[in-house]
Amino acid sequence: MRASIATHLARRLGRLLPTQPRPVTWPGGVVSFTFDDFPKSALAAGGAILERHGARGTYYVSFGLAGSENHLGRLCDGEDVAAAHRAGHEIACHTFRHLDCSRVAADRLLADIARNAVALGALTGVEAENFAYPYGGLSLSAKRVLSRRFLSCRGIAAGINAGTADFADLKANRIRAAAGPEGGFRRLIDAARAAAGWLIFYTHDVAERPSDFGCTPAQLDAVVAYAAATGAVLPVRDVVAGLAAGPG
């Protein structure tokens, strides 16, 4: 009980205290589609949908899970990662062992991330510049350490990144089958456009019968199609770079 209370407080404190506040103004707004854990279906179905609409996504991978199978289906292997990279998608970090960052000491967390970096470098020759917290688990200390290591860290708190955003805990909105085909996603996209903000979506598997954490191809296609038809759709790395350069 004490451990769970401590974890809850660590997560709450981490979200309440920004550690990397930065201005976000993107004229006309921008949308990013991200996939956690990198199930094979996220590329085979999800990547194909994005590419069909002229867009690319960000895949947060934990190489310690590569080639395994769980409730999300079969997870990516090295060939999937290399294929996604060749197609222009971003490969980003999700720790090596899919760690809850609110429960891990800083030195262990950094060592685990270093293992992920070695695996990614061997496959693609590039280094992950962006990160997402597994389970959405974070603490103030994790945010401080990771904000020095990555250009951005993405959480799971819903909302639009606009005005000033915490780049150590970027807001993101879940696409899941239970939300239905529309799920308010169009309203979110319209709101982000109006606010000159950055809207990030995330999901996991993309399948006709997805897990509770995933969505269907038809649902993802509807959201991507609307986003692509109404404005910019870019992977996380491109938005971070564009904001740094001053888009528009």
Give the CATH number of the domain where residue 133 resides.
3.20.20.370
Total domains in the chain come to 1
pTM of the model: 0.93
Q: CA-to-CA distance for 119 and 125, rounded, in angstroms?
A: 10
What residue numbers bound the domain in which 56 lies? 19-245
Q: What is the DSSP letter of 64?
A: G
pLDDT 10s digits, 58-81 = 999 999 999 999 999 999 999 999
Which tokens go with 41? 């279906």
Domain contains 8: no
pLDDT 10s digits, 180-216 = 766 699 999 999 999 999 999 999 999 999 999 999 9
Q: CA-to-CA distance for 123 and 206, rounded, in angstroms?
A: 24
Domain contains 2: no
